[in-house]
Structure 1
Amino acid sequence: MSLPPGFLDELRTRISLSQIVGRKVTWDMRKSNMAKGDWWAPCPFHQEKSASFHVDDRKGFYYCFGCHAKGDVLTFIKESENTGFMEAVELLAREAGMPMPARDPKAAEKQDHRTQLVQVMEEAVKWFRLQLKTGAAADARAYIAKRGLSDAAVDRWEIGFAPDARQSLLTALIQKGFVADLIVASGVCAKADDGSIYDRFRGRIIFPIRDARGRAISLGGRAMDPNARAKYLNGPETDLFDKGRNLYNHAPAREAAGKGQPLIVAEGYMDVIALSEAGFQATVAPLGTAVTEDQLRLMWRIADEPVIALDGDTAGIRAALRVIDLALPLLEAGKGLRFAVLPPGLDPDDLIKSQGAPAMQKVIDTAQPMVSLLWQRETEGKVFTSPETQAALEARLEALTAQIRDRLIKQRYKKVLGRLTSDLFWSQNGKKSKTPKKKGAWSIKDENGPPMASTKQSLLATPEGQVQDTLREAVVLAACIHHPGLIARFESALERLDFVGHGHDTLRSLILYHQSAPDLHAVLMEQAPLPTETVLLHPHVRITAAISASAPDDAAEHCLAEALARLQADRAHRLEISEAEDDVTGVADEGLTWRVSKAAEARHSAARGPQDAKGESVIAPNGIELDRDELNRARSLHQSIDFTRGGRGGKQ
């Protein structure tokens, strides 16, 4: 639509920029000068504490010295309300009391029709809300109270009730002066085959559905009868309502996301309400359908990386996997998805009621990137120990990444999936075979030569010192997983140690974060299945009896202390040698010699391990029996290492 000359200038003249911006910010009155039209506030477009957002009312422009956002009043409405240009003009014209210019006859007629449909919907919402207060709605009120919603929350969400009567709403709307055809066109009533008109929603709790501009465009209803054909029923597609192009709670979620909250995508109305009431106001839900491309684009207009919160059941996981396939071709730099999978059998409402908002926050904080869930889908529960199965997996991953249109995103996905594939093939082929190898039979380990691309992330391609480090790191991590009660004693050392094994650093972080979890192993298998499985199934870990789940804590503690001490001593020795090589200038240096010798002593001391008075190891062949004095010696050895410099001790 074209606007007549001067219309926008008149619009900007009638509305001051500070008047519009003032609804979104809190002015810093110490810095602002109202008389000069000079206003300052924290920027509404990024999180900050200082007032770096400047509004010049006389010129009608704003500028942020932090994020460099700038523009006029129309730009501000577009950016803050996430609207298009004409929608911003309409909002501002309504605010200024200016009629929009007439459109062509057909467009004007269509707009009038849509306006009338909105009026029908608003009256229907009011009527349903009144019905919730009647005696017929006693069971509905009891159900709402059982779900933990207060009267204030019911009013906030405009929840109503549809009596189980054929034409109650129809009669009420006709009495308001609406014609039957318009009522049917709005979707609140339907026409039967015999031409009679009946209420579409009957015996249901009603949830109004509003668009991004806050207009009522449809309704959702939850059946009170457990035997109803559909538990949830949405209004039909109309000139106002397109299920695949709208989101439940769109406008409030957009505003909350603009203030820094993560955008959460839940499954249904009650999940959105429960999350919002618990403090997660930036929550939306699709409307009775699987997530569509248009809804994904709407989400990305609100936030760059929405969190898909899914029920921890089979249906929830299936829904997540469908979203992955839908999103792959649409990915762009900076636009992605994260997936928060709830505990089995729980939805967000259940989790918040049983464990509180902090439990839900923890689920959101540990949401996985999309590539992790994609990898899990393609590999979970499968074995890739033959060239054929490995080739099949690589072909499948190649086909999936080929769907990504963005060149840079495609490259990153290929790199991440390639690294995961290499690690998986190595870990599964590295297991001991249960079937004895026949004499002369071929083995993957029989092939020598330089590391191939598929093994460059494995131990076979790492320097000798790093191989030993990686093995000991695996022992440390496995001991923590099987004996989480020891983590607190070694927490400081674990935090400061630089892990070099692939996936070990991530696993260390998760172990420290979830160390108090009732079942640490289960949590790690859910959030980082590949690194966890790789560590626990590593041959070196499996033959170390002292750290097995059945071993006493004393044995595991000794093994953990010894592994940490050896790691630190070896790294300190390598570091001193490396620095000594740099320091040598052709003349012997007594201090240099002393440093290297002390590092070697620490390394040899750690390598000897706990011994008894006769110089024999205290640990029995099964790796379980220990002497208490020698365990204390191991602890002292572990504590003597200076962790602040990667294990370097001695004179500086």
Structure 2
Amino acid sequence: MPLPPNFLDELRARTPLPPLIGRKVKLARNGRQWKGCCPFHNEKTPSFYVYDDHYHCFGCGQHGDAIGFTMGTEGLAFREAVERLAHEAGLEVPKESPRQAAREAKARTLHDVLAAAAEHMARQLRAPEGREGLDYLRRRGLTDETIERFGLGWSGAGRGALSAALKPLDIEPRQLAEAGLVKPVEGRDGAYNDFFYNRVMFPIRDRRGRIVSFGGRILGDGQPKYLNGPETDVFAKRRTLYGLDLAREAVFRGKAELIVAEGYMDVIALHQAGFEGAVAPLGTALTQEQMEEIWKVTPAPILCLDADAAGMRAAARSAEMVLPLLGTERTLHFATVEGGKDPDELIRAKGPAAFKAVLDARKPLSTALYDLMADGRPLGTPEGRAAFRNDLVAAAGQIPDKSLAAEYRSALLDRFFQSTRRPREARPAGGSFSAASSSRGSRQPFRPPVRLPPRQAPEQEATRKEQARCLLAITLAHPWLLNEVEEAFALLDLPHGHPAALQAALLAWHAGVALTEASDGGAGSLDSADLVSHLQKTGLEEARGWVIRATGLPREAGPDAQPGEALAGWWHFFGFLRGEGALVEDLEEARRELEAGNTAAQARVVSLSRTLLAYRSGETGLEDGAEGASA
């Protein structure tokens, strides 16, 4: 008696595989998965891997889910295994309703009808009337073995030909209509026309290998060139990927990486060339449902699109679509076929090695996202740069994992500052800070390094908030510092609440000053009074009051602090907020600048060195303000 698919999905979701399998197999962590010796055959070297939703033995080929494992190791029938797992998961096995039984029977019938249609179309391809289609596939470089493996066929001339061919199998036109293979003739009761005619046919299978629909390519100049079957009880275009059944097995066996291409022929050509992890959406943009299916197979698939305008638009849509779905264990890479070719054309022209080079040049999502968002943007004006920076921050903000969102924000802003930086005059020798050297035209900008993953700070959140308060107090008292430290300040992931709100307000205010400077042709005002007025207008007076309350502030936050002291104190607290790994990179970058002749980096080297030493000795930077940093 069949069970509802949604119940079985819920049962699998409530039955974590590592604990279940760990009862019988000694498992050890191996990256994202677990491994151990296979319980289904004798082995001394572990080749049995356990993933989130399945297990696989690379030695004997055993593969399955929680239900299959219980059946195989306990000798139970399917229903018995389900009942045992359901009892442990606290689920009640549903009794089959007449409606559910009818739905399951109908689904089985549709799969049978589609399979019979696929067999007929495959025969038609080898018949005289399908010769044109067979010649087309061979011209595209497909071997007979590949044609057979993918079940390619020929639809025939239409006008009821499919109904007539399948009538001896007792398949009625009504069933063909339910399967999406024929459609009623308007105004003629009981009359049907074939949905596909004069097309090369591509059977579409679900992840279990069952045919759920077809795609057809017309030969000649007709439109549409590619046509997919309509939605049915067994086919939903948004959730289906062409080639997933074959690609899934290849990826699980470690034979291939999962590649998302654009169309049927790309997938088939890639499989034939040895890239057996290729799949494709069905003539539409990649959907969230399809990405969820892909991530069940691999955490880091490769999206491979053409380098033409349509391909770049599709890549941009895909990058934007996946951001709200990202996590630390699921991402996306981008590979681009240049020269106006698709993977099929590239392989036929230059062979598999050329496509392998394309895969080797893949870009991580963070890099590809920046490139796609920067394409065509007017970055030659302050307004254009400010709008682009806001869009980058907004894109990172779509990522639900806060830590990952912060890393994306930093990576995107790093590239923004590097790519939009304008040449500046070198700072005068001596390294001392003066009113003249604080102008925007003479400062040497901080070059943000490649960030290392931040170390978890040993201090509690209250300590980190107090460090942020000290840094913000110095900045509020000496807003001219933003000319010197803006790019470094933007890298910090300050605590939520007042610190993060003030950071955003200060960066926005400083950007506004830059716009005024550019439009007026003079120096914008970085006066404390102007900043206070801005914070009052933006509703951040309470946040400012939290910062400047007298308790515990370093002397560098006072109005009488010398410029050099204020700058050193700022870098002191910056170092503690960055964390050890990133702080080491900052220090190395400052040393490289100093060795290159930038004497202005000397103060930063001294300050960051002392901060790193204090950080490693367990200090928080709050023991005696920033005196140690500026002594």
Cα RMSD for the two superposed structures: 4.6
**What CA deviation, in whole Å up to 9, does each residue of 1:369-390 have, x standing for no partner?**
1111211122235453554333
Question: Cα–Cα, structure 1 residues 83 and 330, in superposed 2: closer, same or farther, change >3 Å?
Answer: farther
Question: Cα–Cα, structure 1 residues 140 and 384, in superposed 2: closer, same or farther, change >3 Å?
Answer: closer
Q: Quick one: which of 227, 241, 244 aligns to 1:247? A: 241
1 CA distance for matches of 2:66 and 2:403?
31
Within-5 A mapping of 1:323-342 = 323-342=318-337
Aligned to 1:644: none
Question: What is the Cα deviation at residue 289 of structure 1?
Answer: 1.7
Aligned to 1:138: 131
Aligned to 2:511: none
Question: What is the Cα deviation at residue 253 of structure 1?
Answer: 0.5
Assess if the C-alpha contact under 8 Å between 1:207 and 1:221 holds in 2: yes
Q: Secondary structure at the match of 2:296?
A: helix
Q: Which amino acid aligns with 2:112?
A: Q
Q: Secondary structure at the match of 2:358?
A: helix
Q: Secondary structure at the match of 1:115?
A: helix
Q: Does 1:453 align with 2:448?
A: no
**What CA deviation, in whole Å up to 9, does each residue of 1:278-337 have, x standing for no partner?**
000011111122111100000111110100010121111111001011101000112000
Q: Does 1:425 align with 2:420?
A: yes
Assess if the C-alpha contact under 8 Å between 2:33 and 2:51 holds in 1: no
**What CA deviation, in whole Å up to 9, does each residue of 1:437-481 have, x standing for no partner?**
xxx9x984146875313168999996475355499xxxxxxxxxx
Aligned to 1:29: none
Question: Cα–Cα, structure 1 residues 238 and 94, in superposed 2: closer, same or farther, change >3 Å?
Answer: farther
2 CA distance for matches of 1:392 and 1:39?
56
Aligned to 2:142: 149
Question: What is the Cα deviation at residue 151 of structure 1?
Answer: 1.2
1 CA distance for matches of 2:389 and 2:440?
18
Aligned to 1:270: 265
**What CA deviation, in whole Å up to 9, does each residue of 1:216-255 have, x standing for no partner?**
110111101x221200011100001000111111111011
Assess if the C-alpha contact under 8 Å between 2:264 and 2:280 holds in 1: yes
1 CA distance for matches of 2:72 and 2:235?
20
1 CA distance for matches of 2:101 and 2:55?
27
Question: What is the Cα deviation at residue 158 of structure 1?
Answer: 0.8
Q: Quick one: which of 185, 193, 207 aligns to 2:202? A: 207
Within-5 A mapping of 1:460-479 = 463=590, 466=593, 469=596
1 CA distance for matches of 2:110 and 2:157?
24
Q: Secondary structure at the match of 1:281?
A: coil
**What CA deviation, in whole Å up to 9, does each residue of 1:133-187 have, x standing for no partner?**
1111121111111011111111111110011231110112223102221110000
Q: Does 1:55 align with 2:55?
A: no
TM-score by length of 1: 0.57
Assess if the C-alpha contact under 8 Å between 1:189 and 1:200 holds in 2: yes
Question: What is the Cα deviation at residue 47 of structure 1?
Answer: 11
Question: What is the Cα deviation at residue 65 of structure 1?
Answer: 5.7
Work out the number of aligned pairs and report it.
425
Q: Which amino acid aligns with 1:242?
A: A
Q: Which amino acid aligns with 1:307?
A: I
Within-5 A mapping of 1:432-511 = 444-446=440-442, 451-454=484-487, 463=590, 466=593, 469=596
Q: Does 1:258 align with 2:241?
A: no
Greater shift, 414-423 or 454-463, is seen at: 454-463
Q: Secondary structure at the match of 1:452?
A: helix
Question: Cα–Cα, structure 1 residues 292 and 94, in superposed 2: closer, same or farther, change >3 Å?
Answer: farther
The sequence identity of aligned pairs, in percent, is 30
Q: Which amino acid aligns with 2:593?
A: Q
Aligned to 1:356: 351
Aligned to 1:389: 384
Q: Quick one: which of 154, 157, 167 aligns to 1:164? A: 157
Question: What is the Cα deviation at residue 351 of structure 1?
Answer: 0.6
Assess if the C-alpha contact under 8 Å between 1:102 and 1:108 holds in 2: no
Question: Cα–Cα, structure 1 residues 392 and 70, in superposed 2: closer, same or farther, change >3 Å?
Answer: closer
**What CA deviation, in whole Å up to 9, does each residue of 1:322-376 have, x standing for no partner?**
1011101000112000000101210001111111101101101111011112111
Q: Secondary structure at the match of 1:445?
A: coil
Question: Cα–Cα, structure 1 residues 295 and 86, in superposed 2: closer, same or farther, change >3 Å?
Answer: farther
Q: Which amino acid aligns with 2:252?
A: G
2 CA distance for matches of 1:461 and 1:45?
31
Q: Which amino acid aligns with 1:270?
A: M
Assess if the C-alpha contact under 8 Å between 1:264 and 1:309 holds in 2: yes
Aligned to 1:411: 406
Q: Give structure 1 stretches of 5+ with no counterpart.
A: 9-20, 22-37, 433-439, 472-577, 579-652
Aligned to 2:447: none
2 CA distance for matches of 1:102 and 1:129?
40
Aligned to 1:184: 177
Aligned to 1:285: 280
Assess if the C-alpha contact under 8 Å between 2:304 and 2:337 holds in 1: yes
Assess if the C-alpha contact under 8 Å between 1:77 and 1:88 holds in 2: no
**What CA deviation, in whole Å up to 9, does each residue of 1:488-524 have, x standing for no partner?**
xxxxxxxxxxxxxxxxxxxxxxxxxxxxxxxxxxxxx
Q: Secondary structure at the match of 2:214?
A: strand
Question: Cα–Cα, structure 1 residues 231 and 82, in superposed 2: closer, same or farther, change >3 Å?
Answer: farther
Aligned to 2:289: 294
Aligned to 1:116: 109
2 CA distance for matches of 1:44 and 1:252?
25
Assess if the C-alpha contact under 8 Å between 2:246 and 2:277 holds in 1: yes
Assess if the C-alpha contact under 8 Å between 1:47 and 1:259 holds in 2: no
**What CA deviation, in whole Å up to 9, does each residue of 1:591-636 have, x standing for no partner?**
xxxxxxxxxxxxxxxxxxxxxxxxxxxxxxxxxxxxxxxxxxxxxx
Q: Does 1:370 align with 2:362?
A: no
Q: Does 1:236 align with 2:220?
A: no
1 CA distance for matches of 2:244 and 2:105?
24
Question: Cα–Cα, structure 1 residues 237 and 103, in superposed 2: closer, same or farther, change >3 Å?
Answer: same
Q: Which amino acid aligns with 2:169?
A: K
Aligned to 1:628: none
Greater shift, 409-418 or 231-240, is seen at: 409-418
